[in-house]
Each structure stands twice: as C-alpha cells, then as structure tokens.
C-alpha cells in the first residue's frame, strides 16, 4: 500500500474514491461540505434522499458527480456530532473500507481536517493507515482461482490546511507497520493447520530475521530435552510434527538494556489430546497458535520501524494430538523449572507449553514479560469477542497495557488473580495440577502461569475470544497486535 499526503483543493483531487463523513443529523462534515459546494449540492441531495441514515458506519456510494475530480464519493455515517471522537472515526473508517471491498476503487483519499489538534491528527492518520491495510486484507492464497479483484493500492491523505507533516508521516509509518504486522498475523492464523505447522512458524521467524536483522534461534526437540522442557514436550508427544522453540532477538535499544520479552502460545492444532475435544467447530483450533502469530506479527512491526528498544520473542510451538504414545490424564511431568505437574486434562495444554517458555524467559533478565495465548474457552464466556482478558503480577504493567489497548482501539480488561484463586491449584500427587475447578477457569489458568513468573514483571493476555471470528466472517482478526505495538511504541518513546 502506498501512502501520500496532499494539500490543495479537495474537489480537484483525482482519486478513485474520497471518503467523507455525515452526521446522523444529516449535517455534512467539513470536507463533505467542500465537495457539496463543488457539486452544486449533490451531497445534500443524497443526504436528503433517505439513502443514508448517518448512523456510525452506514455508507452511501455516489458515482461520477459533476464538478469534482474524484470518481466516487463515499459518504460514511459518523453518528451524533456531539459523540464524534477517535473511536467513531475508526469505526466509521473501518466500515468505509469494508464497503469499498465490493467496488473497483483501489486508490482512496481520506481528508484530514487540520482543525483537529496535532495529536488527534497524528492518531487519525496512524489509525487510518492501519485500517486501510486491515480493510484491504484478503486471504485467498488457498483458492485455486482467487476472485477478489479489488485490493487497495494507495491511500492519499488530504490536508485542508497546514500541519506538521513530519509528525504525520511518522504516524502513517507506525500505522502501516501495525497494519502489515496484523496482516502477517492473520495469514498465519488463516493458513490451514496442515501448512501452518511448527516448522512453518519457525521458517516465518527465520524470514523475519533475514528481513529485519533479528537474531533467530530455533531449538529442536533434542535441545528442549537437554533444557528439561518436559511439559512442552509432553504436549507434542503424539504429533508427527516436530516441536520447535523459536527465539527472535531485536537489539534496537541501548546495549545491555533489559529487554521486553514477548511469549506466544503456538499450538498449531489443538485436538485436546486424549481429553479429546467435541467435533463441532474443531477446525477453529487451527487458530490456537494466534498467540505466536501475533508475536511474529508484532516483530514484523518492530522490524519495519527499527524500533529503538530491545525486544525478545519466544514461541513454544507444537501440535496437541491423541495417539498411542500421547500423554495421559494422570501423568506427572517435571517442568523446566522443577515444578512437577499432574496432567488432569490434556486439553489444558497451552499452559504446559507456556510454563517452560516463561522459565526460559528468565535468562534474558527481562524488563517485563508479556504473553499472549488463546488459553481458555472460559475467556470467551467472560468477555465475549470484544475485549481481551488481561492478568498481571504487577499493576503498573497491567495499566500500561490497558492504556495501550485503549490508544490502539484494541481493548483489554484486567481480571483479578490473587491467592484466593491460586489456592485451587492443589494436587494429591504432584506439586500442582494443570487444571482447577471450572469456576473462574481463565483466572486459574493465569494463576498456573503465575507459578512460573515470580522473578520478573509479567502480564498475560488471554485472546481466546478476540483472536479470530467465527461464522460467516470466519477469519483471524490480527489482535492483539495493535495493543502490543502501542505498548512497545510507548516503551521505545516513539
Ligand atoms: N485452546 C483452548 C482454549 C480455547 C477454546 C480457545 C475454545 C478458544 C475457543 C485451550 O487449549 C483449552 O482447550 N482449554 C480448555 C481448558 C480446560 C480443559 C481447563 C478449555 O477452555 O476448555
Ligand atoms: Mn486445549
Ligand atoms: Zn489450546
């Protein structure tokens, strides 16, 4: 996607489509008024026709209006004027790009009104660049005849006055990097589980390392055996796919400065193992690697921006299969840090691969560790598909991540952990079991991880409800890449 900034008369700008806002009172936005004037009231007429409500995200496409150079005008509803803000801007623009999917427009213009504050303007440009890439995203690499003709090629930002162009360009670069990171995350998630294997994720990491000069280390089964990553290996046992432990290191910050360590759950398919899952929608368990997918995606963002921060990514990845040599409910496994775990349910496998990765994280003496995992079905029950669950052993880190989510329009909500929940992790035979009672299942899963993160500041994102969509719109969302990217941007001071 090409991005550019232009000034001058909006009505004379040659473009496939210009996107302008309309409020639910039928009042036109400032830039819509400019086009209205040039077209002798065509937009006012369209607004009065009743063909667009002005409700946030409603759209109406106008073709070949006389008096302007743009081929199309897309009117997009922005709701009530008094409620108009950054959130509505993003929702409206998201809807606009979605509706453009079915048109031939590939070069789109977005007016930025310079009456907004500089920080608002930069935020809008950053969001718009990201939304443009998000909206143009297609996954048709597995179709024999890809038939989606319209893939966005260019976005022009139009300024109706003077603005700090350097700051705007930097904002667009950030938005572009987040958008491209999300696209990688979505590709990795949407790819079928016979292709997106642990080996495929390792190769993706190697490609990123080449492109962005990261250091890449891939530990094989024998390396993991030496390190004592037995809980990870216990999940992988019955799979024909070799497990991988992927390490990416980006040294963009001060030499020797403590890094942020990102850890992503990489179960490339979760059958449940011997505690086999029911059949319905089991295909969606190909998304059980989206913790890993989002960490690889955000590393792309980091690389594209040469982020001035030290960042380490750890991805434990394998497949959870049943089989004659599979781990059984009742088996007891010694984790890398020495804690013994009684496996009571082989479907609670995410925590088993994460705990060894969290132990491995200690060697980096991290400033903070953040993991992302499609960890529990209970998370979907608690927060639905809107908000990511957040857990932390440090409230400041939790607040930092919640704020990053707000800023990125990629919300997370903190849930409690605490000793009352932790007490549920009791085993008659080992140090801890891998499951507690069903009540508060996402919290006790977080408490399990908390047993392995005592030596550093740590937060856990349960993305089970937010990493992908089901039903007709089935597909990866690219979340929580925007949240993570924003968190890293703030830490890097950009
Ligand atoms: N990957 C699943 C969690 C999941 C399920 C995410 C459905 C999104 C949608 C995870 O490995 C799992 O199976 N968790 C179990 C834990 C239980 C056995 C304690 C669950 O949530 O049912
Ligand atoms: Mn599972
Ligand atoms: Zn799982």
Q: What is the pLDDT of residue 115?
A: 85
Whether residue 190 lies inside any domain: the answer is yes
Decide if 176 is inside a domain: no
Check whether residue 155 and residue 234 sit in a common domain.
no
Q: How far apart are the first and last CA of the chain?
A: 22
Decide the pairing of beta strands 340-342 and 332-334: antiparallel
Task: Say if 259 falls within a structural domain.
Answer: yes
Digit-coded pLDDT (tens) for 9-34? 999 999 999 999 999 999 999 999 99
How many angstroms separate the CA atoms of 448 and 362, rounded? 17
Residues with CB under 5 A from ligand 2 (ion): 270, 347, 349
CA-nearest of 266, 272, 265, 376 to 329 is: 272
Q: Is 463 in the pocket of ligand 1 (CB under 6 A)?
A: no
Q: Which atom of ligand 1 is nearest to the CA of 272?
A: 13
Nearest to 482 by CA among 181, 41, 232: 181
Asked whether residue 166 is assigned to any structural domain, the reply reads no
168, part of any domain: no
Structure confidence at residue 147 (pLDDT): 66
Query: What total of structural domains would you count in the chain?
Result: 2
Ligand 1 within 6 A of CB of 201: no
Rg of the chain on CA atoms, in Å: 24
Do 297 and 366 belong to one domain?
A: yes
pLDDT (0 to 100) of residue 119: 87
More confident: 457 or 138: 457
Q: Token pair of 251, please?
A: 């040294």
Q: Whose CA is nearest to atom 5 of ligand 1?
A: 377
Same-domain pairing of 326 and 388: yes
Q: Answer whether residue 324 is part of any domain.
A: yes
Cα diameter, the chain: 81
Residue 311 shares a structural domain with residue 431: yes
Ligand 1 center from residue 350 Cα (angstroms): 8
Lookup: tokens for 419: 């000793």
Give the CATH number of the domain where residue 85 resides.
3.40.220.10
Compute, in angstroms, the gap from residue 182 CA to the centroid of ligand 2.
Answer: 24
Q: Tell me the percentage of the chain whose pLDDT exceeds 90.
A: 95
Quick one: average pLDDT of 69-77? 98
Distance CA(221)–CA(218), nearest Å, equals: 10
pLDDT (average), residues 425-439: 97
Answer yes or no: do 186 and 156 share one domain.
no
Task: Please report the pLDDT score of residue 23 as a whole number.
Answer: 96
Pocket test for ligand 1, best of 376, 381, 462 (most atoms within 8 A of CB): 376
State whether 153 and 282 are in the same domain: no
Q: Which are the catalytic amino acids?
A: 277, 351
pLDDT at 86: 86
| CA distance linking residue 231 with residue 335, whole number of Å | 5
Looking at the fold, whether 385 and 482 belong to one and the same domain comes out as: yes
Report the share of the chain in percent with pLDDT over 70: 99
Ligand 3 centroid – CA 406 distance (Å)? 27
Q: Which of 17-26, 80-89, 330-339, 398-407 has the lowest mean pLDDT?
A: 80-89
Nearest to 467 by CA among 452, 477, 457: 477
Q: Domain check: are 294 and 435 in the same one? A: yes
Cis peptide before 480 (omega within 30 of 0): yes
The reply to whether ligand 1 has any atom less than 6 angstroms from the CB of 378 is yes
Residue 128 sits in the same domain as residue 270: no
pLDDT at residue number 88:
93
Mean of the pLDDT values across residues 271-280?
A: 98
Same domain, 40 and 81: yes
The closest-lying atom of ligand 1 relative to the alpha carbon of residue 374 is: 6
- How far, in Å, CA of 181 to CA of 184, rounded? 5
Together in a domain, 354 and 219? yes
- Ion ligand 3 neighbours (CB, 5 A) are 267, 270, 288, 350
Which of 160, 193, 217 terminates a domain? The answer is 160
Ligand nearest to the CA of 424: 1
Say if residue 469's pLDDT is above 90.
yes
Cβ(308)–Cβ(406) below 8 Å: no
State which of 97, 125, 160 marks the end of a domain.
160
* Strand ranges for 328-472 from DSSP E: 332-334, 340-342, 368-373, 388-392, 412-414, 432-433, 458-462, 468-469
Mean pLDDT of 40-56: 95
Residue 169 lies in a domain: no
Q: d(Cα 9, Cα 352) in Å, to the nearest integer?
A: 60
pLDDT digits (tens, 9 = 90+) for 92-124: 999 999 999 889 999 999 999 888 888 899 999
pLDDT tens digits, residue range 132-163? 999 999 999 999 987 665 567 899 999 999 99
Domain co-membership, 156 together with 185: no
Question: What's the pLDDT tens digit per position in 201-244?
Answer: 999 999 999 999 999 999 999 999 999 999 999 999 999 999 99
Establish whether residue 288 lines the binding site of ligand 1, counting it when its CB lies within 6 angstroms of any ligand atom.
yes
- Pocket flag, ligand 1, residue 433 (CB < 6 Å): no
List CB contacts of 105: < 8 A, sequence separation 6 or more.
16, 17, 71, 72, 150
Range of the domain at 62: 2-160
Please say if the pLDDT value at position 6 is more than 70: yes
CATH number of the domain that 273 lies in?
Answer: 3.40.630.10
């Amino acid at each position: 996607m090409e991005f550019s900034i232009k000034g001058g008369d909006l009505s004379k700008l040659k473009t496939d489509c210009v996107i302008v806002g309309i409020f639910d009172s039928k009042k036109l936005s400032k830039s819509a008024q400019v086009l209205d004037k040039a077209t002798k009231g065509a937009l006012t007429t369209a607004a009065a026709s009743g063909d667009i409500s002005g409700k946030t995200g409603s759209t109406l496409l106008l073709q070949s209006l006389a008096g302007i150079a743009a081929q199309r005008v897309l009117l997009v509803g922005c709701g009530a004027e008094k409620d108009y803000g950054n959130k509505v801007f993003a929702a409206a623009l998201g809807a606009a790009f979605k509706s453009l999917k079915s048109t031939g427009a590939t070069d789109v213009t977005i007016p930025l009104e310079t009456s907004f504050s500089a920080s608002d303007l930069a935020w809008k440009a950053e969001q718009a660049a990201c939304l443009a890439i998000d909206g143009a995203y297609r996954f048709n690499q597995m179709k024999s005849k890809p038939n989606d003709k319209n893939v966005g090629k260019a976005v022009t930002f139009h300024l109706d006055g003077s603005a700090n162009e350097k700051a705007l360009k930097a904002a667009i670069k950030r938005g572009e990097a987040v958008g491209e990171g999300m696209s990688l995350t979505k590709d990795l998630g949407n790819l079928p589980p016979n292709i997106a294997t642990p080996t495929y994720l390792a190769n993706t990491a190697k490609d990123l390392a080449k492109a962005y000069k990261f250091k890449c280390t891939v530990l094989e089964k024998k390396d993991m055996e030496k390190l004592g990553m037995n809980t990870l290996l216990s999940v992988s046992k019955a799979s024909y796919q070799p497990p991988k432990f992927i390490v990416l290191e980006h040294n963009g910050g001060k030499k020797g400065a403590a890094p942020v360590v990102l850890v992503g759950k990489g179960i490339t398919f979760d059958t449940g193992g011997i505690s086999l899952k029911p059949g319905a929608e089991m295909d969606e368990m190909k998304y059980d690697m989206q913790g890993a997918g989002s960490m690889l995606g955000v590393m792309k963002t980091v690389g594209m921006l040469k982020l001035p921060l030290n960042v380490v990514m750890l991805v434990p990845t394998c497949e959870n299969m049943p089989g004659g040599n599979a781990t059984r409910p009742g088996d007891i496994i010694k984790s890398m840090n020495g804690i013994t775990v009684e496996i009571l349910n082989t479907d609670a496998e995410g925590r088993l691969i994460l705990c060894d990765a969290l132990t491995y994280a200690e060697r980096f003496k991290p400033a903070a560790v953040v993991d992302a995992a499609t960890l529990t079905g209970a998370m979907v029950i608690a927060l639905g598909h809107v908000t990511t669950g957040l857990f932390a052993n440090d409230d400041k880190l939790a607040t930092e991540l919640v704020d990053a989510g707000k800023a990125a329009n990629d919300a997370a909500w903190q849930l409690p952990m605490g000793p009352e929940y932790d007490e549920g992790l009791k085993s008659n035979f080992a140090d801890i079991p891998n499951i507690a009672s069903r009540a508060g299942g996402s919290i006790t899963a977080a408490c399990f991880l908390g047993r392995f993160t005592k030596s550093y500041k740590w937060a856990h994102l349960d993305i089970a409800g937010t990493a992908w969509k089901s039903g007709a719109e089935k597909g990866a969302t690219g979340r929580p890449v925007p949240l993570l990217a924003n968190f890293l941007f703030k830490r890097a001071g950009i």
